[in-house]
Chains A and B, each alone.
Chain A
């Protein structure tokens, strides 16, 4: 390669980068035959000065420097423009020695470090959450899964963001069909910017009207490890502390990592509690409408008279009451979620206590309705994974709608319909809801 083309190369890169405030371009060596180009904001300046600039002056021979640079594990020798640009944008330094170009790994990682899991907090057990850096996350997972079978496939997604995505699986246990499907779906993703696991989840789900999440998005490395060991595929994304796990079954959303730690009896108890919570939060508002307006004969006399008594002053039909209070509750949850931590509790108190109390006293809502709404809200929060929690929150309104139109029949019809729908769902070709899902997993993995 002649020196002219070398010059061209340099000018090509600097032209592309022209106008970038943080683009650095230096000539090293006594004769300036070493060119160094990088983006200051993405690279670790300490690494650059210590391992590139200082030796560049200290070494007499360009050849010696070249072999010194190429001996670094992350260094890539290349002449391809596209690759150079990509890597420089990642935080590599482009070093041109003689006629050859080297990409030197000097990536600066600005991450929040390993934090504590906040969205899926548990009482005992590991507290680490996935961090914002893919390397760190791989580290977290590798440390917990020390097996040579753990394979990591790296690829880049996003035409603009060039986000690295890693597909993790245990080569011995994984369902090859699922893996193939997952790779295919990820390869088909066509977007500009990818920033979060949730986004990716949305893109790799087949385009269809769907209510339930068919992939778990989690922030816990132990959950990822646990699922990989079960033969599932995990996907982690750079710059986002969440991982996607697939395929999943319905009951996965009702497993907290706590269950493994507890005594089996307690674990079972907690699981049952969660399903009861699910049932209550789904059906209570609908049942209230049924009891209050269609079939008051179902409950005992005392309870019926109690409901009738507390509803006596309420000026509108029961379903208006239910919708009104459920909406108030949703507002309250959303408000306390988005508000700064300092004001959050105040809002809850004002909304929950004062509003509830005043509303009953004013005769706008019955006492029993207030109890019911709080029960619904609390039992909704029992669901360990928030994605499912949100889904259930929405579905409950559908149940109320059915109860308004058909009464008790409507509730039963909607429950049966829901179970049918869930049984019809597939997560990466695997049944989504099935009794004894564990048995079939063992058989399927063979």
Chain B
């Protein structure tokens, strides 16, 4: 009994120690998305413009959409701007639910490293936060309130992730992935690009390629899709093929992509991609009935197109000198001469050759022949 009382006393004692931390959930406002730009003002070009989008808890959860508050602050560093923003809010600003960090175009063309460092250093910012480039600037993207969203910032979050739309033009990049790519040897950062289209739309269909510090080039929607095809499994997409009088659409059901680096001993290396896919015919423009031979012909045409597009994209990437897919890392990991492999790769990279082998099979014609 005495022991029990002692324990109770000890708990209460430590309770007084921790009392200051007790902050109810309705006294906090959750930042759901952050946008970071360089200010337009030419005098403040090296400062940061931070935009916070916060969800305000509403009394009635059945109400259709919840209000959000957007605060923009300009300061010399991001933490400074947040400190300024805090004094504008009546509630504690809480970053623990921040799901998206938008890098403004102006920032991306300059230097992203301080922001990457800040966001992975802070304990309350998740490492599974989505990162993206905002165009024309991060502020407009963060501010955008689309009609379909019930939760503040939800459209952005669902768009960048995979729970909502599964668009083939979107490459999801998490914060930890970005951080890894910034530091890793032989793997360079990428980020999807979010464009704000007025009045209320967010378009995500491009991919930005970075060197370790800033954005170098942008892949077009079509290239982004091929990029996704090359780097992921089971891409959900439909493709259109126009070839030799036939033109048709097919829908990819399953896809697979592998690559290996051949050679390298004699100063020349070939990267061989093997793509395979299974698809359903979705539209046949010509109007003839699709028989077995026709279907096989279509399959071949589709494969040819993949091969052409793929090699084109790979060449484009090589021309920028970047390594978003991680060929370098793959080369290092398969070579045991750790002392010299980086030098070797530096020499190999400009002369890389690409081969894409596409095994495309249209297996079903759909409900009609």
Direct contact of A and B (CB under 8 A): yes
**Residues on A close to B: CB < 8 A?**
209, 291-294, 296-297, 301-302, 304-314, 317-318, 363, 367, 401-402, 404-407
Residue of B nearest to A299 (CB): B97
Can you list 21 A-B contacts (CB < 8 A)? A292-B25, A293-B25, A296-B25, A296-B94, A297-B97, A301-B30, A301-B32, A301-B97, A304-B30, A305-B66, A306-B61, A308-B28, A308-B30, A310-B61, A311-B57, A312-B59, A317-B24, A363-B59, A401-B11, A404-B15, A405-B18
Residue of A nearest to B23 (CB): A293
Known: A297-B124, A405-B11. A305 touches B151 (CB 8 A): yes
B3 part of interface (Cβ distance < 8 Å): yes
Known: A209-B1, A301-B151, A404-B15. A312 touches B57 (CB 8 A): yes
| Distance from A369 Cβ to chain B, minimum over Cβ atoms (Å) | 12
Residue of A nearest to B3 (CB): A209
Complex alpha-carbon distance, A251 and B26, angstroms: 40
Query: Interface code B14-28, partner A: CB below 8 Å = 1, 0 otherwise?
Result: 110010011111101
| Contact between A209 and B4, CB atoms less than 8 A apart | yes
| Contact between A314 and B26, CB atoms less than 8 A apart | yes
Complex alpha-carbon distance, A367 and B21, angstroms: 25
Complex alpha-carbon distance, A219 and B180, angstroms: 64
Residues of A within 8 A of B26 (CB): 308, 311-312, 314
Complex alpha-carbon distance, A313 and B26, angstroms: 9
Complex alpha-carbon distance, A50 and B96, angstroms: 88
Known: A301-B151, A305-B55, A305-B57. A318 touches B24 (CB 8 A): yes
Known: A304-B30, A405-B14. A297 touches B57 (CB 8 A): no
The listed residue (A294, A297, A301, A312) touching B58 by CB distance below 8 A is A312
Known: A301-B99, A309-B57, A313-B59. A318 touches B25 (CB 8 A): yes
Complex alpha-carbon distance, A399 and B194, angstroms: 46
| Distance from B123 Cβ to chain A, minimum over Cβ atoms (Å) | 10
B41 part of interface (Cβ distance < 8 Å): no
Residues of B within 8 A of A306 (CB): 61
| Contact between A309 and B124, CB atoms less than 8 A apart | no
Residues of B within 8 A of A367 (CB): 61
B90 part of interface (Cβ distance < 8 Å): no
Query: Interface code B213-236, partner A: CB below 8 Å = 1, 0 otherwise?
Result: 000000000000000000000000
Complex alpha-carbon distance, A307 and B30, angstroms: 12
Residues of B within 8 A of A297 (CB): 94, 96-97, 124
| Contact between B60 and A309, CB atoms less than 8 A apart | yes
Complex alpha-carbon distance, A259 and B323, angstroms: 62
Residues of A within 8 A of B58 (CB): 309, 312
Contacts A308-B25, A309-B66, A313-B59 given; 10 further ones with Cβ under 8 A?
A292-B24, A293-B24, A296-B28, A297-B97, A301-B99, A305-B55, A305-B66, A311-B57, A317-B24, A405-B11
Residue of A nearest to B126 (CB): A297
| Distance from A211 Cβ to chain B, minimum over Cβ atoms (Å) | 9
| Contact between B61 and A294, CB atoms less than 8 A apart | no
Complex alpha-carbon distance, A305 and B56, angstroms: 8
| Most chain A CB inside 10 Å of its own CB: which residue of B11, B12, B60, B124 | B11
| Distance from A82 Cβ to chain B, minimum over Cβ atoms (Å) | 40
| Distance from A64 Cβ to chain B, minimum over Cβ atoms (Å) | 66
Complex alpha-carbon distance, A367 and B61, angstroms: 10
Which label, helix, strand, loop or mixed, suits the secondary structure of the A interface? Answer: helix
Complex alpha-carbon distance, A351 and B57, angstroms: 29
Residues of A within 8 A of B60 (CB): 309
| Contact between A309 and B59, CB atoms less than 8 A apart | yes
Complex alpha-carbon distance, A311 and B24, angstroms: 9
| Contact between B14 and A294, CB atoms less than 8 A apart | no
| Distance from A300 Cβ to chain B, minimum over Cβ atoms (Å) | 8
Residues of A within 8 A of B24 (CB): 292-293, 311, 317-318
Complex alpha-carbon distance, A293 and B151, angstroms: 22
| Distance from A61 Cβ to chain B, minimum over Cβ atoms (Å) | 68
| Contact between A302 and B151, CB atoms less than 8 A apart | yes
Residue of A nearest to B10 (CB): A405
| Contact between B30 and A317, CB atoms less than 8 A apart | no
| Distance from A340 Cβ to chain B, minimum over Cβ atoms (Å) | 37
| Contact between B21 and A294, CB atoms less than 8 A apart | yes
Complex alpha-carbon distance, A309 and B30, angstroms: 12
| Distance from A408 Cβ to chain B, minimum over Cβ atoms (Å) | 12
Complex alpha-carbon distance, A309 and B152, angstroms: 13
Complex alpha-carbon distance, A304 and B97, angstroms: 9
| Distance from B69 Cβ to chain A, minimum over Cβ atoms (Å) | 13
Question: Closest 4 CB pairs between A and B?
Answer: A297-B96, A308-B57, A405-B15, A309-B57
Complex alpha-carbon distance, A293 and B30, angstroms: 14
Complex alpha-carbon distance, A196 and B246, angstroms: 92
Residues of A within 8 A of B30 (CB): 296, 301, 304-305, 308
Residues of A within 8 A of B32 (CB): 301
Residues of A within 8 A of B28 (CB): 296, 308
Residues of B within 8 A of A302 (CB): 151
Complex alpha-carbon distance, A302 and B153, angstroms: 11
Complex alpha-carbon distance, A307 and B25, angstroms: 8
Residues of B within 8 A of A310 (CB): 59, 61
Residue of B nearest to A363 (CB): B59
Q: Which B residues from 263 to 279 make CB contacts under 8 A with A? A: none
Complex alpha-carbon distance, A404 and B24, angstroms: 11
Complex alpha-carbon distance, A404 and B21, angstroms: 10
Residues of B within 8 A of A291 (CB): 25
The listed residue (A307, A311, A406) touching B14 by CB distance below 8 A is A406
Residues of A within 8 A of B25 (CB): 291-293, 296, 304, 307-308, 311, 318
Complex alpha-carbon distance, A291 and B25, angstroms: 8
Residue of B nearest to A297 (CB): B96
Complex alpha-carbon distance, A296 and B93, angstroms: 12
| Contact between B124 and A293, CB atoms less than 8 A apart | no
Residue of A nearest to B12 (CB): A405
Residues of A within 8 A of B61 (CB): 306, 309-310, 367
Residue of B nearest to A401 (CB): B11
Residue of B nearest to A308 (CB): B57
